[in-house]
């Protein structure tokens, strides 16, 4: 019943930009803390950014200054604006919503940064 769907991934050159989106159904984003995670081949899942119900934002050190997380509760949307992309940003990016002991995940969207 609850579904999170990421979109906006693709192939981009180093230094380029990309905007990821996460659309939710069966859930009201206003009730949840939201986050973006990523997982590169052969590596553990990494927290990219979080945004609380109150709008407090934290970024992972590896992306700080290059990525902006935002949410639109009225539209049930979560965004990740990615700038100055590097090859090491290549990963599957996952949308996450958590609250009241529950956690929901999207299916992921592939981001590839390469020349």
Q: Which residues pair with 110 in a beta bridge?
A: 92
12-62 pLDDT, tens digit each? 999 999 999 999 999 999 999 999 999 999 999 999 999 999 999 999 998
Are residues 80 and 49 in contact, defined by beta-carbon separation less than 8 angstroms?
yes
Three-class DSSP category at 27: coil
Name residue, tokens 């984003």.
Answer: 29
92-109 pLDDT, tens digit each? 999 999 998 999 999 999
DSSP code of residue 62? T
Confidence check: pLDDT of 64 > 90 = no
* 1-19 mean pLDDT: 97
């Amino acid at each position: 019943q609850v579904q999170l769907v990421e979109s906006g991934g693709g192939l981009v050159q180093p230094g380029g930009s990309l905007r990821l989106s996460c659309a939710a159904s069966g859930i009201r984003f206003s009730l949840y803390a939201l986050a973006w995670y990523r997982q590169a081949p052969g590596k553990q899942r990494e927290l990219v950014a979080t945004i609380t119900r109150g709008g407090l934002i934290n970024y992972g050190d590896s992306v700080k200054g290059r990525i902006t997380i935002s949410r639109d509760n009225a539209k049930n949307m979560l965004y990740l604006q990615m700038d100055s992309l590097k090859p090491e940003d290549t990963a599957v990016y996952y949308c996450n919503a958590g609250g009241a002991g529950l956690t929901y995940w999207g299916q992921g969207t592939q981001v590839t940064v390469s020349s």
